[in-house]
Amino acid sequence: MRRLKMYRLGVLISLSVLLNSCIATKRYTEPTIENKYLFRLDRLNKKGEKLTDLDWQNFFKDKLLKEYIKEALINNQDNNITLKNIELFKAQFKRRRAGYLPTVDINTDVQRQQQSKNTQFGSFANGIMTQYTASSNLTWELDLWGKITSQKLMAKAQFEKSITAQKLLQTELIANVANTYYSILEADKRKQILAETVQIRLESFETLKQLKTSGYSNALAVSQAKAQLVQARILLNDTENQIFTLENALSMLIGKPMNTIKRNSLEEQNILTEFQLDLPLEILSNRPDVKEAELEFKSLFENYNIAKASIYPSVKLTANIGFQSLETSSWFKSNSFFNTLVGGITAPIINGRQLRTQKEVSKIQMEQSLLRFQKRVLEASIEVSDVLNQYNTQRNNLKELKTQKQLLDKSFSDSKELLKAGLANYLEVLNAQENLLNTQLQYNQVLSQNMQTTTTIYRAVGGGIK
């Protein structure tokens, strides 16, 4: 009789395995990236060092900046929060990875029961019965439809996504620290230019006052010179305030208060002027946000597999073994041993269409995530294309501004000499002075922007983080 039961159980399991060969969850395949999602990246190959082979410690040359980045990666609170998320998803992945294993419980209890004398057993028993039990229960669900496997793969994708999210935040943090540092350097240089301008305009103001006394100038020229001097002082005050604000912003990114931000000068910065890009697909595959979008699709792909597998019957094996006795003296003797083995199938019949609806919803969510992945790839390719074109434009503008700055510097010097000789009027001097200041500030600003654009390129191609 027992053999017959085991035979029936074997037939039941074999039938389930046969059905599984016909209806199985699909294996995940990476989504393909077509050329329509690559925007002008085939036109942007350059010579030089490969950006995707660089990490931040090699990419940035300023020693002080590298120290600030290192401190930010340790102290920044947002970065530390994402690290805790990784620990959370890692724990969940470990739990799902153990889904193949059976659950085992150990139970020990003493049951005392007093029978009513008016019952069938109480009429001839003494009315009190004490039973001692020590047992172990084992439950194991067979992964016939791949549901447990998909649960493990989904948890793994979510774990990997949490790591990628941390890399994305880390890349953004590095770029923000570098750009804030470069903004401070630009403001320092602007402060220097404006301080020199204030001194020059003060000298011009004093010169015009002397010329007015000598009859070679007038009150209008003096008032115009005074107005320019005041304007330069206002710009200087605003710049000092901006430096204070930027220093606080950098302290916030670093994650600790700093009274003084040590830094080098703008002219001392050594940035890459030549670089080499990988193939378009390799550029985008290194970006944490593209990886994150793909892992989101992978997670929802496995979630769809789980929803499909939930529709089909589940097969469980349950075993219970132990010792049971009415007396403690014979509790663990061979005659007290018992065992039970149960195999069963649970199949959903009527559930208010919940499982089929969940399957349809999961499929739609998976398809939406694929579209988001494709959109992310397109946005990433456009960002890389835009920032590389912006970089080249800025480099060309710097060459032109440098030439313009040299010409205007000479023009201003000549106008001052001509004014002293009486061959130029005050308006020509003030105009030359204003043009020189604007060009100096513009060159300084474009130089800082170009360094920040280089940092953006570094982030746009994945931040050198594998």
**Average confidence (pLDDT) over 3-17:** 51
Spatial distance between the Cα atoms of 321 and 338, rounded to a whole number of angstroms:
6
pLDDT at 45 over 60: no
For the stretch 345-367, pLDDT in tens is 776 766 657 888 888 899 999 99
The pTM (predicted TM-score) of the whole model is 0.72
Percent of the chain predicted with pLDDT > 90: 21
Least confident of 33-37, 129-133, 439-443: 33-37
Spatial distance between the Cα atoms of 36 and 33, rounded to a whole number of angstroms:
8
For the stretch 46-75, pLDDT in tens is 554 555 556 788 888 899 999 999 998 888
**In which band, very low, low, confident or very high, does the pLDDT at 343 lie, cut at 50, 70 and 90?**
confident
The structure tokens listed for 56 are: 């931040």
Tokens 């240089």 — which residue? 189
pLDDT at 454 over 90: no
Which residue segments constitute the domains of the chain, with CATH numbers given?
26-101+145-312+354-460 (1.20.1600.10)
- Yes or no: say if 196 and 235 are a contact pair by the CB < 8 Å rule: no
**Average confidence (pLDDT) over 273-299:** 76
Of residues 117 and 165, which shows the higher confidence score? 165
> 424: which DSSP letter?
S
Helix (H/G/I), strand (E/B), else coil: 119? coil
Residues facing residue 321 across a β-bridge: 136, 339
Rg (CA), the chain: 38
DSSP string, 232-285: HHHHHHHHHHHHHHHHHHHHHHHTS--S------GGG----S-EE---HHHHHH
Q: Centre a 10 Å sphere on the Cβ of residue 308 and count the other Cβ atoms it contains.
A: 22
297-303-309 Cα angle (round to 5): 140
Residue 1: Cβ-neighbour burial (10 angstroms; 0-12, 13-18, 19+): exposed
